[in-house]
Copies of this chain bind each other. A is one copy, B any other.
Amino acid sequence: MTTESTLTLDTKHVMDERLGEHKLTQADLQALAPKVAEILKEIAGERAKGEHRFRELPHERPQVDEIKRIVAERRDAIENLIVLGIGGSALGNIALQSALNPLTYNLLSKAERRGPRLFVMDNVDPAYFEAVMHFVEQDGWANTLVNVISKSGETAETSAQFLIVRDRLIKALDEAKGKDHILVTTDLSKGTMREIVDAQGYRSLVVPDGVGGRFSVLSPVGLLSAAFCGIDIDSLLDGAAAMDKPVSDPNPMTNPAALMAMIYYLYDQRGKNIHVMMPYSQQLRDLADWFRQLYAESLGKIRPSDGKCVGPTPVKALGVTDQHSQVQLYREGPNDKVFTFLEVEAFECDSIIPLAFEGVEAMEYLGRSKNGTLAGLLAAEKRATELALLVSKRPSLTVRFPEVKARTVGEFIYMYEAMIPIMGKLYGINPYDQPAVELGKVLTFHFMGRHGYEKPAIDL
């Protein structure tokens, strides 16, 4: 097996002459490159001192053996896996599942599935929650496993869901048996959830120290549900590990994470503050949602040095679908966007368009075309759209997947994660905190009557 990364980054449509003043030149990039070279050096030094811990996950692979053990023990006995988590405890799980299993996975028979059905409950809407509960209860709690993911146990949404599910498990199975159906992913030693795990004797996995939620997909947070559902987590981690080399390249012009960081940053500086990620692949759609959290929560910050509010707004789109929804705006609306396409070179299967209705050209050409398959049509539409954007002076870049496999998805995740601290240093902000989320949390505690939060944090 190769240890080289296989994704490619195509930047020709940010450099094309037809973009006019919206083009980035080699000179633009070269002007920023020394600063980014410094940043890469800093990051390498910090990493050596134990910072940027997410970078080590594919090498250290904490608890991967334990995950495999749990899966081997339990997979045959369970039909439904419920993940209770939100934000970084959910988006990675969802993205891996839709990228690497059929989009009809939950509908398949047990024989066709590679593991249990997966329900990632990342909202507290009661109609949604009870719809899933109803389904699971019919199927029986005895063949359901619940993975509660919360580093602290302070997340109101996950705690509320945990309390409800635990109660129903106990009622259905009794207290002792119910415990076997709860698996908690939490801090190794501290926090409310760890206390509960220890007191109740739940089986548990560990959220690694120093890895924030949005960087945790390649840890037990994201790997357990993936492994349960038959995803090759070794390949996923191999892909991430292979990407470590290019994104550690000290030359920003050849380091893909640094090059993307420069392009996104320069365009944002020039007023293109809306950064659209548009996979031409239904399966990669939720990976764009994962990206959206990574980007927004890491970079949307008040810069300490000058108090300025910075951070591009990530937008998730989908090719070809959104050609019929957003491309009108993308071409004729304000030129305030930069587009990142995710392109797949070889799909795992293809559908030949049959020749029919000869003489009716609007149908016949599809069956006659040398590109006359759904993958061929998808590729033609992607090319058409990027050219149409180009002649409207809208820049785009393409991340090309040779195929959608655990390995390439691992590469993609690691490349984008590695880009974030580079961008953080360009913006002069801390990409690892999320101070602005705090106020909403404490106001929620106030409204819910939590002791210690009797006085609201602001005038209501």
10 residue pairs, one from A and one from B, having the closest CB atoms: A300-B329, A87-B324, A384-B443, A300-B333, A380-B447, A293-B325, A128-B282, A331-B436, A296-B329, A365-B450
Given contacts A331-B437, A371-B447, 8 further A-B contacts (CB under 8 A): A157-B381, A159-B366, A164-B353, A195-B360, A300-B326, A331-B436, A371-B448, A380-B447
Near B by CB (< 8 A), chain A positions 55-110 give: 86-88, 90-91, 102-104, 106-108
A360 and B440 contact, CB distance less than 8 A: no
In the complex, which range does the number of interface residues on chain A fall in? 35 or more
Best-buried of A124, A129, A383, A446 by chain B (most CB within 10 Å): A124
- A445-460: CB near B (< 8 Å → 1, else 0) gives 1111111100000101
Q: Identify A315's interface contact among B313, B333, B373, CB under 8 A.
A: B313
Task: Give the distance to chain B from A310, nearest Cβ to Cβ, in Å.
Answer: 7
Contacts of A445 on B, CB cut-off 8 Å?
Answer: 365
Known contacts A104-B131, A362-B159: does B293 contact A310 (CB below 8 Å)? Answer: no
Nearest B residue (CB) for A302:
B332
**Chain B CB within 8 A of A127 CB:** yes
B435 and A332 contact, CB distance less than 8 A: yes
Bound form: Cα–Cα A329–B293 in Å: 9
**Chain B CB within 8 A of A13 CB:** no
Near B by CB (< 8 A), chain A positions 159-173 give: 159-161, 163-164, 166-167
A123 and B321 contact, CB distance less than 8 A: yes
Near B by CB (< 8 A), chain A positions 133-166 give: 133-135, 153-154, 156-157, 159-161, 163-164, 166
**Chain B CB within 8 A of A320 CB:** yes
Chain A interfacial positions (CB closer than 8 Å to B): 86-88, 90-91, 102-104, 106-108, 122-135, 153-154, 156-157, 159-161, 163-164, 166-167, 192, 195-196, 213, 273-274, 280-283, 292-293, 296-297, 299-302, 309-311, 313, 315, 318, 320-321, 323-337, 347-354, 356-357, 360-363, 365-378, 380-381, 383-385, 387-388, 391-392, 404, 434-437, 439-441, 443-452, 458, 460
Bound form: Cα–Cα A353–B158 in Å: 11
Known contacts A363-B163, A368-B449: does B377 contact A127 (CB below 8 Å)? Answer: no
Contacts of A313 on B, CB cut-off 8 Å?
Answer: 274, 315, 329, 333-334, 336-337
Known contacts A282-B123, A328-B437, A435-B332: does B160 contact A374 (CB below 8 Å)? Answer: yes
A293 and B326 contact, CB distance less than 8 A: yes
Complex copy number for this chain: 2
Can you list 28 A-B pairs, Cβ within 8 angstroms, ordered by A? A87-B321, A102-B134, A103-B128, A104-B134, A122-B321, A126-B351, A127-B348, A128-B283, A130-B351, A153-B362, A153-B363, A156-B366, A161-B374, A163-B366, A164-B374, A293-B324, A300-B329, A301-B328, A302-B332, A313-B329, A313-B336, A327-B437, A332-B435, A332-B436, A365-B450, A365-B451, A371-B448, A372-B448
Known contacts A349-B126, A366-B159: does B332 contact A440 (CB below 8 Å)? Answer: no
A384 and B447 contact, CB distance less than 8 A: yes
Bound form: Cα–Cα A445–B365 in Å: 8
Contacts of A347 on B, CB cut-off 8 Å?
Answer: 125-127
Bound form: Cα–Cα A351–B137 in Å: 14
Q: Identify A458's interface contact among B273, B350, B368, B391, CB under 8 A.
A: B391
Contacts of A460 on B, CB cut-off 8 Å?
Answer: 387
Best-buried of A164, A329, A349, A448 by chain B (most CB within 10 Å): A329
A301 and B333 contact, CB distance less than 8 A: yes
Q: Identify A156's interface contact among B301, B311, B381, CB under 8 A.
A: B381
Task: Give the distance to chain B from A11, nearest Cβ to Cβ, in Å.
Answer: 18
B282 and A127 contact, CB distance less than 8 A: yes
Task: Give the distance to chain B from A359, nearest Cβ to Cβ, in Å.
Answer: 10
Task: Give the distance to chain B from A451, nearest Cβ to Cβ, in Å.
Answer: 5
